[in-house]
Amino acid sequence: MADVFDLDDGSLTDEQVAMRQTCRRYVDNVLRPFVRNDREREWRFEPEQRLTPELLEEADRAGLRSLGIPEAYGGVALAEGTEAQTFAIIAAELARGDVGVADKLVQNWKVAVLLRSLAAERLQEEWFTRYMNEPQFLMAHCLTEPRGASDRWLPYNSPKANMDTKAVLEDGFWTIDGRKQFISNGYDASLYVVYANTDDSAGMLQGTSSFLVPRDTPGLHVTRCNETIGGRYMNNGEIVFDNCRVPEDHVLARGDALGKAGVYFRPGKIMQAAKNIGIGMAAFEDTVAFVHDRVQGGRVLIEHQAVAVRVAEMATKLEAVAALLRHAAKAVDSRRSNADSLSDMAKVFAAHEILAVCTQAMELHGGYGAMLEVGIEKYFRDASVYLHMDATTDISNFRIVKSLFPNTAGTYAGPE
């Protein structure tokens, strides 16, 4: 069943097919057995004990950590004009095994794309080399704050909407003070990209800078692991910066960091939708197996008309999400003018449709759907998180409307 909704429209390159097969072997032989053999493990409240080191080491051996890393540092060079599509294919496969593990690796890929675009060569050599040598090395992107989360995506380009986190340059060092929350990989990352206000008089688009901050920098404090309902194998964290000083050359983008982060945001939306469809793929596979095996009312479940209709609806939703995702990923790779809006559409559409698929999966399993040891409820929990990851669905819809009707959309979408 794994090849029913694999984002393949018949145009995959030999490279993409090979990568997908490698990832599928990892998922089927390593990741899915790990999750299935201990359903309670993700609920451990000591974040360090949830995932065994072998999971990332096996991913490293399979080459799944090196996507997005420049070839000069041992990374995998993806064919030009196909990167977002390849990211989507591999992210969906990983999420079919476990979306938390997919989150860990996808976050690394996204930050790597940002660093190779903005970081000085010296910093790239230092950190990409270390990343490739350490299978447990994780990276995090620190944008969200307690008083500013999804609204940062609009953006409201006014000094009143500036980041609460501040950075001041003095004597060759940037001093960062503030707090970031809901940060993917935030609890256990080794390297952070941090956004901060560097000009109170300018709007958010002109006054926000980004910085490369190693975990062991004095003044960087990881204060908690957020206990989420889904994706629990990715340790979402909260970070406080208290007189945190980094060298002047650790600035990635000064003043226009949000604009330059488009290389992170656009493929990021694609990968969010791809991870989501991976959850749906797994829920569908398990449900199809169940309805072909379970006997109710004297016949196998799939022979009941009510069950057949629900399964057909699940399949249709998955195909629709896959079609829009392929379309959006190609737009990102070809740098089409509507790539941003299509990425938002794919993210929003996947969030709602995959949650509906997982709801059907739970209902078709009856009482078993809510049982921890069966695993169907996990898909529902994992999918529910995607309603607000990388911006809430409402904020994303505001952005879509703004892109469709730039001259008439309301001020809720903010000035560009």
What local confidence, expressed as pLDDT, does residue 60 receive? 96
**CA–CA distance from 284 to each of 95, 101, 371 (Å)?**
13, 20, 17
Host H or E run for residue 169: strand 166-170
Residues in the chain predicted with pLDDT less than 50, given as ranges, are 1-4, 416
CB-based contact 281:5 (threshold 8 Å): yes
Alpha helices in 294-338 (DSSP H): 305-333
Domain with CATH 1.10.540.10 in the chain: 14-133
The domain covering 14-133 belongs, at the CATH homologous superfamily level, to: Acyl-CoA dehydrogenase/oxidase, N-terminal domain (1.10.540.10)
**Gap between the Cα atoms of 128 and 134, Å rounded:** 10
Tell me the two tokens of residue 46: 């000591």
Helix (H, G, I), strand (E, B) or coil at 68: coil
Which of 15, 185, 195 lies closest to 102 in space, CA to CA?
185
Statement: 262-413 belongs to CATH 1.20.140.10: yes
What local confidence, expressed as pLDDT, does residue 327 receive? 96
At 333-384, the pLDDT tens digits run: 999 999 999 999 999 999 999 999 999 999 999 999 999 999 999 999 999 9
Domain with CATH 1.20.140.10 in the chain: 262-413
Alpha helices in 62-213 (DSSP H): 83-97, 99-118, 121-133, 204-207
- Please tell me the total number of residues recorded for the chain in this structure: 416
What local confidence, expressed as pLDDT, does residue 8 receive? 64
Beta carbons within 10 angstroms of residue 60's beta carbon: 18
CB-based contact 271:109 (threshold 8 Å): yes
CB-based contact 351:406 (threshold 8 Å): no
Q: Which fold has domain 139-259?
A: Butyryl-CoA Dehydrogenase, subunit A; domain 2 (2.40.110)
**Gap between the Cα atoms of 34 and 26, Å rounded:** 11
Per-residue burial over 332-370, b if 16 or more Cβ lie within 10 Å, else e, is bbeeeeebbbbbbbbbbbbbbbbbebbbbbbebbeeebe
CB-based contact 101:234 (threshold 8 Å): yes
CA 382 to chain centre: 12
**Gap between the Cα atoms of 67 and 327, Å rounded:** 21
Domain with CATH 2.40.110.10 in the chain: 139-259
CB-based contact 120:307 (threshold 8 Å): no
